[in-house]
A and B are shown apart, each in its own frame.
Chain A
């Protein structure tokens, strides 16, 4: 299953809201996760099952979608949110990841 993530880059300011899209090449039900990557830190699971927040994920993060179209939304950006975000499907082997979205400070 190919995962197409957009945009590749996103510039925003603290306090703004942003959305990242992830589209699967075929239906994956809600078997989608979102991860955050930051330099020097282990990758962090944010959301699984399309919209379920992992324990410890701030409530300003939300996920939506099912089938082929998914969205990660971050409301009221904080400085710690500037990172790279990946979607990943686990509906069928091999698990596959999107190419990533780099969220940068404007």
Chain B
């Protein structure tokens, strides 16, 4: 059974940093692209970026809205996906989801809340 479990969310001050984790299980992690998506309360989801699989060199793509502030990485020995978020702003407040694959997100985690506020 595919499982994705996010962690690391919470309250952070504007300008601060946070690293989210997504523990993956139930599939061969290195075979799959992995993505991060966020959803502000009551709004539509926003794709943040993707990290490709082993066959594609674990390269990354980002939404221009977060490029330069957010970094996606993966630990392929522990099957963990990461999202490093720097210089956080109030508008980054959202539920953050990891998802399997790029483009077609066939499995999503339950999400973790990130609140940016002083």
**Hey, which bits of chain A sit against chain B, CB under 8 A?**
31, 33, 35, 41-45, 48-49, 54, 86, 88, 90, 93-100
Dominant secondary structure at the A interface: loop
Are B105 and A31 neighbours in the complex by a CB distance under 8 Å?
no
Chain A min CB distance to B38 (Å): 11
B107 within 8 A of A: yes
Are B105 and A45 neighbours in the complex by a CB distance under 8 Å?
yes
**Hey, which bits of chain B sit against chain A, CB under 8 A?**
4, 43-47, 61-65, 97, 102-111
Chain B min CB distance to A1 (Å): 11
How many inter-chain contacts with C-beta < 8 Å in the A-B complex? Answer: 50
Are A98 and B104 neighbours in the complex by a CB distance under 8 Å?
no
- Alpha-carbon separation in the docked complex, A45 to B2 (Å): 14
Chain B min CB distance to A72 (Å): 15
- Alpha-carbon separation in the docked complex, A61 to B103 (Å): 20
Chain B min CB distance to A10 (Å): 16
Are A88 and B45 neighbours in the complex by a CB distance under 8 Å?
yes
Are A45 and B106 neighbours in the complex by a CB distance under 8 Å?
yes
Q: A90-B102, A90-B103, A98-B44 are in contact. List 18 more A-B contacts (CB 8 A).
A: A33-B105, A42-B4, A42-B108, A42-B110, A42-B111, A44-B108, A49-B104, A54-B106, A86-B44, A86-B45, A93-B61, A94-B47, A94-B65, A96-B47, A97-B44, A97-B47, A99-B44, A100-B44
Q: For A86, what are the chain B residues with a Cβ–Cβ distance below 8 Å?
A: 44-45
Q: For B97, what are the chain A residues with a Cβ–Cβ distance below 8 Å?
A: 43
Q: For B47, what are the chain A residues with a Cβ–Cβ distance below 8 Å?
A: 88, 94-97
Q: For A54, what are the chain B residues with a Cβ–Cβ distance below 8 Å?
A: 106
Q: For A94, what are the chain B residues with a Cβ–Cβ distance below 8 Å?
A: 47, 62-65
Chain B min CB distance to A44 (Å): 8
Q: For B108, what are the chain A residues with a Cβ–Cβ distance below 8 Å?
A: 42-44
